[in-house]
Amino acid sequence: MGMLIKNGNVVMVEDGKISKMDVLIDKGIIAEISPEINRNDVEVIDIEEKFLIPGLIDMHVHFRDPGYTHKEDIHSGSKAALAGGFTGVLMMPNTDPPPDNATVVYYWKEKSKNIPLNILFSGCITKGRAGKELSKLHELKEAGVVAITDDGNWVANGAVFRHAMEYAAALDLLVITHAEEPTIANRGVINEGYWSTVLGLRGIPKAAENVAIYRDIEIAKITGAKLHVAHLSTAEGVRLVAAAKKLGLKVTAEVTPYHLVLTDEALAGYDTNLKVNPPLREAEEQKALLKGLLEGVIDVIATDHAPHASYEKNVEFNDAPFGMEGLETAFPVLYTELVLTKKITLEKLLLKMTVNPAKILQLPKQGDIKKGNYANLTIIDPKLTLKVSEELLVGKSKNNPFLGKTLTGWPVMTIYQGIVAYQRLLKGVQ
């Protein structure tokens, strides 16, 4: 049976418009978009002027599977993604064992095959993510990875990274860089600046990110490979990416929701849920990130969903792992903090969370609401206001920095290829 979604405020992202429309779905495909469609042979869902948006696509998630499934696994991570309105995710390779050959990729495929979510896979640039010897990149490509990265580790050896970029160019693989020069970062745990001094914590200089981005762009220039800069956090990084784009290089970049709405001042209470890498920066850097997002320098908003068990985070700040859980609250955080405050339009926000990631990851018939596209859709209630609590979150881990905060604009239904994959109950709990 097909599905008819009626009376939605349909956001057609590339067209940059929101129109009251009905959408007919047949065999998992968007069959018709029209001001009025009447059918009695399909399931009818009247969404009463809620937003109907393309299913969100997250280019940066950690599902911790295999090896760290006490934090998250493919099934729990997928539940979190669907609850957050996502219909596609790209898994990072910092697992144990890591996917430096096809074996882990096939494990991922087997474990995710019946999940109503487009789960994409990245492989390691180097064996064991150790930065010394290249992974079996041809084998990884044949197994189905769409990107390679040593996520969490920057490939410091320039010769190794250049070799990887040359292979990636030949194999049409996206290279994602975690841009942080480790000897400059020097085991820091917070942005180097006023708050690192006040709190007595070792700082991470912005130069650690800037130097790494500069080198990686230079190697992209001589190899012609596609380079994607993960979780950009500095004004200088924005400038470097902008310069690369002006040269016509195949360079794209992402920013996280929390780098857009939080600064290092939030760490005054030593909340380990706010310990992330790269760290939260000063307000001036945050303004540059938003400006870069609005001007098209930054292509994508990605969550860097990094779940950790409570006992791992409930330790001294220096000992806590980097990372925060983010899939379920990403959209309402951005809607509350950026759209409702008129810092960005809904259409522009969605461009960074649907159309652009679909293009970068080369996902056909995804990322927008168009006739013939897959019916990967999310219904957003712009009036629904919920307080973030551990009970609200469906993923395994609860290390969300917005616990206790009231947010507006929650996903209430996620549809994957014409099938309802998630529906939020009235109390806001699945």
Q: Which residues are catalytic?
A: 304
Instruction: For residue 277, say whether it is annotated as part of any ligand binding site.
Output: yes
Burial of residue 35 (number of CB atoms within 10 Å: 0-12, 13-18, 19+): exposed
Euclidean distance between CA atoms 114 and 102, whole angstroms: 20
Cα distance between residue 179 and residue 260, in whole Å? 18
* Cβ-contact 390, 426 below 8 angstroms: no
Q: How far apart are CA 53 and CA 349, in angstroms?
A: 11
From its phi and psi, is residue 182 left (phi > 0), alpha (psi between -120 and 50) or beta?
A: alpha
Is 77 within 8 Å of 424 (Cβ atoms)? no
8 is in an annotated binding site: no
Burial of 408: CB neighbours in 10 Å, binned 0-12, 13-18, 19+:
middle
121 marked ligand binding residue: no
Q: Is 18 helix (H, G, I), strand (E, B) or coil?
A: strand
CB atoms within 10 A of CB 78: 25
Whether 402 and 408 have beta carbons less than 8 Å apart is answered as: no
Task: Determine if residue 70 is labeled as part of a ligand binding site.
Answer: no
How many Å apart are CA 76 and CA 79, to the nearest integer? 5
266: tokens are 């939030």
- 304 labelled ligand-binding: yes
Residue 228 known to bind ligand? no
Q: Is 323 one of the annotated binding-site residues?
A: yes
58 is in an annotated binding site: no
Residue 244 in contact with residue 220, Cβ under 8 Å?
yes
Indicate the Cα dihedral angle 64, 168, 217, 249, nearest 10°: -120
> How far, CA to CA in Å, does 327 sit from each of 33, 86, 147, 274, 301?
29, 8, 20, 15, 12
96 is in an annotated binding site: no
CA distance 108 to 168: 22
Q: How far apart are the first and last CA of the chain?
A: 24
Was 269 annotated as part of a binding site? no
Q: Per the annotation, where are the binding residues?
A: 60, 62-64, 94, 151, 178, 231, 277, 304, 308, 322-323
Q: Per the annotation, where are the binding residues for substrate?
A: 62-64, 94, 277, 308, 322-323
Q: Per the annotation, where are the binding residues for Zn(2+)?
A: 60, 62, 151, 178, 231, 304
